Structure 1
């Protein structure tokens, strides 16, 4: 009993020792990691960056920011880091005393404190970088902006005539920008680098706008003072000449539109003097689009007149020809109706076309009168002429289609006659095939199928001999006859095969009569059905009888029958 107690105590002690070793190792690792993080923060290059700031102009905003950053960094070094060291020592002491829970809590507090310190250090470094970077960028980009301003001023002086009255305004705007450079220099001198940076960004945006204006204003000056006014004058001149030549152009209202465009151009000139480029661009674009539209309208009138006068009654001549063609179509239809039946819609096609052609002739007569009067815009006349011509082409196609339909009727009759003769020949072939097969008898269903095929062929022939001939009815009868003969042909092959199969199976079954007398009655019944031409029943009775006395008999019969087939 004592030994067991000692062993148990030793095990407990061992477990405690293992727990203590693992706990100390884990916590020691955490403490080392926290200490490394503290050291890393302490060695961040804050002092080096502060030294860069000290080389700048230490006045105004720079001095204020420098003092704040240095104070914050001193607080990190003299207050925050020592506090972390104190906590690290406390955590190590707790680990030595195996107070792992307390050590874990202390480590969490250290980690939270280090996160706060890191945010503070990152903020200092970020602001330092922004200030130092702003000073460097301001110096480089400020020179570039100043150069751009001076180049713009030189370009304005060298090409002043191309800017017209806008040159004075542009000069004032460039001088304003130059004054903003003075403010930029003052901010830099006072150490307000970040504020100077914001001002420099504004100057850059203003210079971008200035340079765009100086590129576009000479171009727009040319557009609004020369190019567009010249094009408007050309349109006015062309408009007047066309009216003198007899064109009806009042519906275009070009004079009103041109006057409105002139007013817009006058307004755009005032805008250019004020260097309002964007709004002028919109006016110029609208003017260009309108002028292009006017050119298209006038050109459309010229082309329309060309097409209308070129017609010179040609369309009327074509319509008259269609009318004569329709009279011939009416005569053809009357002749065809003597030989073929046409349904109401088919028979009325020529009459309907004649009525539509009549209305088209009247429409063209009215149009031709308006052309002679010369009181309607040619574009309107041309559009109406195109509509008449389009309908004219549709009527021609309808005539051609109906004429082809009439010709097809005779073709269909010939083809139907040939197809009927082919069916008659096929029926005769089937009849000979059945006779040559020497069948013991013909089943009633087969007789009915044969009679149906003969009747349908006869009905088709009767329909073909009718006058006037109804080709639709002929086609329906012919299709029915085709189906009936095809069905008869299939059933003929089935019947001949069924007879041969049942006859051979009866012969095969008779072999079992001596060895299996019980099969006799069923075979006798099957032979009776065979003689009565009920071949399917004979097969069924015979197969049942054989299978009853020999389960493999039908398989042997099937193999033997296949070998005997040619």
Structure 2
């Protein structure tokens, strides 16, 4: 029974597999057949019919014969071969030979792919040929129109092209000859070759139109605009030399002569219609002319500034020299009251030397201005250098004057700070007395004495003549630190005394109930009277904790409450 059930299951599985495989292969065969039909219905016949309307000679006829032969081979050889394989595949599927059918389908797919490439190639070439004929017809007419318009313009405005007109006419005639060749190629059915020629003609017409647009402009610039500007520069150059300007270093005459030679070359280029070469030279010439204008303007402006600022600069130098003498005198006075290190005290002397060199530099500049043998642009550069150094010296003088003023200000501030420290020490002393302490520990006495000594030392340095403010500041910083430390320790001491006193009072509660606490409490009281407050606290705390493990917590709560 089990064997029968197993056999049924196997048969059932095989049947399902056969049905699924057969359906899958049938679908694949249908898709391949549809692909074949789609290729057969590609519009090759229609496109070939379009070719027949063209001139069926030459290149067109040869291409048409090849395409028709290739299409006939596809229809009569390739497609029937595919049909045969499709029938074979269907037969194999019916016989449940799915593996063999799969192999045949792969071959069919490969063959159809090859056929598709052939069809696509034929259609692409057909499109190119037919399209070339259509574009050639439309664009050829456009090229003719552009060529005719160019010729009309040349005839109507011949004078604007100068000696380039005959050359342009020859070039336009050459393009006309190219059109004739284009017409012959078209007439002979060589549409693709005609298309290539038309593209060349279009490039030539673009170049021709560019030349005809630029040559009149360039002719005007080369023959009129630039020569006029050069004449203006030469005239201005000569006038400025007559007015006393020294301009030989600019070599403008040499540069203008070179530019005139370049303009002669431009005329030759234009006569040959060589526009690109001309535009390059014209662009360089414009840059050079602008540069010449800038140079001459710079000389004019330089003269204006030199004559305007030179005298005032001399007065300013005298002013900083006088101010430096005042600084030297003030420095000598300050030295009587304050100590200055070497670098600080030598600032006025160093500035005096620099001002002396600046005065000499100015004298040389003044002589060169009077001598009128140096270009104003050079003189102006030297003058600006002197003015920049004057600005730096003024800044240094201002900084040093502020430093001297700061010394007096620092002395006043130091005196006030010292007075504040004395008051703070007095306040701390008064605070300790008002606290009615049983006594003062030795370490606190030492700190108090140290604070007094620090204040005294700061006072001593502040009363020295000449005064060393750096040393005064160091002493004041030390005194400030000592006073701050003493103030903190004073607060700690008063808190410690109060805490010890309260704890001893709290511990006295245990004397009646715990007689063994008395020795320790007595010892703590003795330490308290001897101003050993930390020891008093330690003894008292130990005693309380020994008789009552919660006693210190009770004291802490009570102390905080109070």
- Shorter chain as denominator, the TM-score bin is over 0.9
The one of 222, 235, 252 aligned to 1:237: 235
| Residues 79-88 or 225-234, more deviating | 79-88
The match for 1:277 is 275
User: Alpha-carbon deviations, 1:197-236, whole Å to 9, x = none?
Assistant: 2111111111111111111111111111011111111111
The match for 2:483 is 485
Measure the CA separation in 1 of the matches of 2:85 and 2:34: 14
RMSD: 2.7
User: Alpha-carbon deviations, 1:377-419, whole Å to 9, x = none?
Assistant: 1111111111112111211221122112111211111011111
The match for 2:421 is 423
1:506-525 to structure 2, matched below 5 A, reads: none
The match for 1:168 is 166
Instruction: For residue 239 of structure 1, report the CA deviation from its aligned partner.
Output: 1.1
Q: 1:337 to 1:52 in 2, by over 3 A?
A: same
The one of 431, 452, 456 aligned to 2:450: 452
| Residues 435-444 or 477-486, more deviating | 435-444
The one of 391, 404, 413 aligned to 1:406: 404
SS in 1 for 2:88: helix
1:246-257 to structure 2, matched below 5 A, reads: 246-257=244-255
1:134 equivalenced with 2:135 (yes/no): no
Q: 1:119 to 1:468 in 2, by over 3 A?
A: same
Measure the CA separation in 2 of the matches of 1:231 and 1:218: 19
Measure the CA separation in 2 of the matches of 1:343 and 1:248: 51
Measure the CA separation in 2 of the matches of 1:486 and 1:91: 109
Instruction: For residue 326 of structure 1, report the CA deviation from its aligned partner.
Output: 1.2
1:345 equivalenced with 2:343 (yes/no): yes
Instruction: For residue 55 of structure 1, report the CA deviation from its aligned partner.
Output: 2.0
User: Alpha-carbon deviations, 1:248-302, whole Å to 9, x = none?
Assistant: 1111111111111110111111101111111111111111111111111111111
SS in 2 for 1:313: helix
1:51-70 to structure 2, matched below 5 A, reads: 51-70=49-68
1:84 equivalenced with 2:61 (yes/no): no
The match for 1:74 is 72
Q: 1:263 to 1:560 in 2, by over 3 A?
A: farther
Measure the CA separation in 2 of the matches of 1:77 and 1:205: 43
The one of 390, 393, 401 aligned to 2:391: 393
SS in 2 for 1:29: helix
| Residues 215-224 or 64-73, more deviating | 64-73
Q: 1:511 to 1:175 in 2, by over 3 A?
A: farther
Measure the CA separation in 2 of the matches of 1:110 and 1:548: 110
Q: 1:463 to 1:181 in 2, by over 3 A?
A: same
1:157-556 to structure 2, matched below 5 A, reads: 157-311=155-309, 313-501=311-499, 503-504=501-502
Q: Unpaired segments of 5 or more residues in structure 1?
A: none
Instruction: For residue 450 of structure 1, report the CA deviation from its aligned partner.
Output: 3.0
C-alpha contact (below 8 Å) 2:299/2:376 kept by paired residues = yes
C-alpha contact (below 8 Å) 2:269/2:275 kept by paired residues = yes
Instruction: For residue 451 of structure 1, report the CA deviation from its aligned partner.
Output: 3.1
C-alpha contact (below 8 Å) 2:310/2:383 kept by paired residues = no
Q: Unpaired segments of 5 or more residues in structure 2?
A: none
User: Alpha-carbon deviations, 1:57-113, whole Å to 9, x = none?
Assistant: 222222222222222222222222222222222222222222222222222222222
Instruction: For residue 32 of structure 1, report the CA deviation from its aligned partner.
Output: 2.1
Instruction: For residue 365 of structure 1, report the CA deviation from its aligned partner.
Output: 1.0
What is the total number of aligned residue pairs between the two structures? 562
The match for 2:151 is 153
TM-score (norm 2): 0.92
Q: 1:309 to 1:544 in 2, by over 3 A?
A: same
Instruction: For residue 444 of structure 1, report the CA deviation from its aligned partner.
Output: 4.5
Q: 1:460 to 1:95 in 2, by over 3 A?
A: same
Measure the CA separation in 1 of the matches of 2:505 and 2:152: 126
